[in-house]
Amino acid sequence: MPIQPERPVWWKIIIGTVLILVEVKNHAFPSANLLKANNPAEQFGMYLAMAVIIGLGCWLVYSGIKPVLRKTG
């Protein structure tokens, strides 16, 4: 029986890409209405949250396109 590659999970790819693009846009072109850090600890927390969201987006995109093989039959 042949092994067929599993199809990509499109919702993971789309959600992950949107998370990444929104965070990069917010970092490159900050809006006047976004929260501003009052001290270095808040700034570190905001950067850490940004890194976690981008990491989550990368993981979603990767898990949506990785070649997972399954046996048929």
Given this model, what pLDDT does residue 17 score? 96
Element (H, E) at 43: helix 40-65
DSSP conformational letter for 8: P
Tokens in use for 20?
């990444």
Question: How many domains are there within the chain?
Answer: 1
Q: Which amino acid is at 64?
A: G
- Reference 58, options 28, 22, 17, 27; nearest CA is 17
Give mean pLDDT in consecutive 10-residue pieces for the chain, a chain of 73 residues: 73 95 91 86 94 96 74 51
Give me the pLDDT at residue 50, please.
94
pLDDT at site 55: 97
Q: What is the pTM of this model?
A: 0.79
For residues 23 and 53, is the Cβ–Cβ distance under 8 A? Answer: yes
Q: Which domain holds residue 45?
A: 3-30+38-71
